[in-house]
Chain A
Amino acid sequence: MTEFLGYERPDGSVGVRNHLLVIAPIDCSYEPAKKIADQVPGAVAITQTHGCGADTMLAHNLVGTALNPNVAGVLIVGLGCETLTGEMLVEQIEPSGKPVHNITIQELGGTIKTHERGVRLLQGMAQDAAKLRREPFPLAKLTLAVECGGSDATSGLAANPAVGVAADLLIDEGGSVMFGETQEMSGTQHLLARRAVNDQVAKDVYTIIEAQENRLRSMGVDSRWMSKGNIDGGLTTIEEKSLGAVRKGGTKPLQGVLFNDWDRFDRPSKPGLYIMDGTGWDVPSVTHMVAAGAQVVCFTSGRGSTTGHAVAPVIKVTGNPQTYARMTDNMDINAGTILDGSESLNSVGRRIFQTIVDTASGRLTKAEALGYRDYIVFKRSREAEHLLGHC
């Protein structure tokens, strides 16, 4: 039984990092929030950029990030006149038992006074958070998010199948895995539905892929067609193309589809494999999955990618040996050894699995060690969803 070393939270969840989160519920207060976070080691500031309405899809993401076990404490820095208020966020974060404070710039009388108050609150939370010690926990306490971006022909051949092997190993040990990017599942709905644990999950698979195909069609894009580049690169059918993408989620039974909209923000309810219905845009996709509880992210990229996440380690895997050689500073794992036969798929999968466990236990990823703290909240247009009949 493999264990990892993590920080236990008051709600029983286990963090792999011990971050303090500074939330600007509206971008108006983001600059002061960043300055406050800069003052205290381990603190990181996030915001959303969709305006100051009290949109529940935005609140779900911000609250979800605060509830992520990698966060030890939360400070909300609002402007004061936004509709999505700090109080609304506090109400949803407080039940987790983690410390949460809420201040607003207009009430405190400007950013310098807010800075003083904010730094003092963060300082106290940083002192307390530093007392926590890592302890061993079973992998049943770990949720992995899997993402791919900047794909090339090696992605479906090496990196995605190898990450899929690691995902299967994690699930065998009682852990959970989620993968998103609904549009990249087009053409595999019948195969994913076949792996569903019940009819409802099978139906959900069809529902989300059909809805995403509708959105693309409404923009004049037909997602069923293969691009010339796909075909030139050796992909023969849409099934083959999408199978290469979904293979990063491994081969285990599908426990559920996680919906993420105005009414729902689902999290895995029991161990196993899940699909997160969401955008194919890398950073917001990772942002969603971490907000749904993933503590560690595995990100495959054939062409190379640099992104991290505000509170979660992002492990970069490439199936392209040349990309690994060129971008060693950014790519954590070379799965390209599969291509020349110097290492088996299963061996690379086990290496990725071990890296996930080591990262969960505290080893920094390359993106973390370079200080990359990407965070973007994606929001669908409610008007467009209405017009398409999705809500």
Chain B
Amino acid sequence: MKKAIQIDERDNVATATSDVRKGDTVEVLSPDGKVILKAKPVDDIAFGHKLSLREIRGGEEIIKYGEVIGVASRDIPAGEWVHTHNVDSARLKTSGEEVRGVTV
């Protein structure tokens, strides 16, 4: 069975641990190694690439490692390949960030 890992329970994407073909059944493992769901990728997904675990709306945050890694640039259906074609960095667009009152 093909597998993918959800590194943090807050993540809305999982990372494929081998090359996955469209239509394969993929077991998505939690950090505890439990199968949390079986995904049906709607795209081919290469080793190390990500698939969406649920429908993500355009403008919604993409979460991996429990942190925001970017923002969906359009609606992403469940099981879709998640990469530069449908995600923008949240950071490169930002200038002058404010953290705990510290502006740098």
Q: Is B truly associated with A?
A: yes
Segment among A141-149, A193-201, A304-312 that sits at the interface with chain B? A193-201
CB contacts (< 8 Å) of A193 on chain B: these are: 99-100, 102
Considering residues B35, B67, B68, which has the most beta carbons from chain A within 10 angstroms of its beta carbon? Answer: B67
| Given contact pairs A157-B7, A206-B102, A243 touches B64 in the complex (Cβ within 8 A) | yes
B91 within 8 A of partner (CB): yes
Shortest distance between the CB of B14 and any CB in chain A (Å): 10
When chains A and B are docked, how far (Å) is the Cα of A235 from the Cα of B15? 10
A244 within 8 A of partner (CB): yes
CB contacts (< 8 Å) of A189 on chain B: these are: 97
Chain A residues 327 to 361 lying within 8 A of chain B, measured CB to CB, are: 338-341, 343-347
When chains A and B are docked, how far (Å) is the Cα of A348 from the Cα of B50? 22
A40 within 8 A of partner (CB): no
| Given contact pairs A157-B15, A196-B100, A199-B100, A239 touches B29 in the complex (Cβ within 8 A) | no
| Given contact pairs A202-B100, A203-B102, A237 touches B90 in the complex (Cβ within 8 A) | yes
B49 within 8 A of partner (CB): yes
- Chain B binding surface SS class: loop
CB contacts (< 8 Å) of A132 on chain B: these are: none
Chain A residues 206 to 239 lying within 8 A of chain B, measured CB to CB, are: 206-207, 210, 224, 231, 233-239
Chain B interface size, as a band, is: 35 or more
Chain B residues 1 to 35 lying within 8 A of chain A, measured CB to CB, are: 3, 5, 7, 15-18, 27, 29-35
Shortest distance between the CB of A275 and any CB in chain B (Å): 15
Interchain CB contact under 8 A, A210 and B104? yes
Interchain CB contact under 8 A, A343 and B33? yes
| Given contact pairs A341-B29, A343-B33, A239 touches B91 in the complex (Cβ within 8 A) | yes
Q: Which of A207, A210, A233, A239 is close to B67, meaning CB atoms less than 8 Å apart?
A: A239
Interchain CB contact under 8 A, A202 and B31? no
For A344, give the chain B residue with the smallest CB separation. B33
When chains A and B are docked, how far (Å) is the Cα of A154 from the Cα of B29? 16
Interchain CB contact under 8 A, A236 and B5? no
Shortest distance between the CB of A343 and any CB in chain B (Å): 6
Considering residues B33, B82, B88, which has the most beta carbons from chain A within 10 angstroms of its beta carbon? Answer: B33
Q: Which of A157, A199, A243, A347 is close to B33, meaning CB atoms less than 8 Å apart?
A: A347
Interchain CB contact under 8 A, A346 and B17? no
A326 within 8 A of partner (CB): no
CB contacts (< 8 Å) of B41 on chain A: these are: none
For A339, give the chain B residue with the smallest CB separation. B17
| Given contact pairs A236-B50, A239-B68, A339 touches B87 in the complex (Cβ within 8 A) | no
| Given contact pairs A190-B91, A345-B7, A237 touches B70 in the complex (Cβ within 8 A) | yes
| Given contact pairs A157-B7, A340-B3, A238 touches B33 in the complex (Cβ within 8 A) | no
When chains A and B are docked, how far (Å) is the Cα of A63 from the Cα of B16? 46
Interchain CB contact under 8 A, B5 and A234? no
Interchain CB contact under 8 A, A243 and B69? yes
Q: Which of A154, A339, A341 is close to B27, meaning CB atoms less than 8 Å apart?
A: A341
A161 within 8 A of partner (CB): yes
Interchain CB contact under 8 A, A234 and B84? no
B42 within 8 A of partner (CB): no
When chains A and B are docked, how far (Å) is the Cα of A210 from the Cα of B46? 34
Interchain CB contact under 8 A, B69 and A340? no
Considering residues A190, A231, A235, which has the most beta carbons from chain B within 10 angstroms of its beta carbon? Answer: A190
A residues at B contact (CB < 8 Å): 153-154, 157, 161, 187, 189-191, 193-194, 196, 199, 202-203, 206-207, 210, 224, 231, 233-240, 243-244, 247, 251, 338-341, 343-347
With A199-B101, A231-B83, A345-B7 known, 16 other A-B pairs at CB within 8 A are A157-B5, A161-B65, A187-B89, A193-B102, A203-B102, A224-B92, A236-B62, A237-B69, A237-B70, A237-B90, A237-B92, A239-B70, A239-B91, A338-B5, A341-B3, A344-B29
Query: What are 12 A-B pairs with beta-carbon distances under 8 A?
Result: A190-B97, A231-B84, A234-B15, A234-B46, A236-B82, A236-B87, A239-B91, A240-B65, A247-B65, A340-B3, A344-B29, A344-B30
B residues at A contact (CB < 8 Å): 3, 5, 7, 15-18, 27, 29-35, 46-50, 62, 64-70, 82-84, 87-92, 97, 99-102, 104
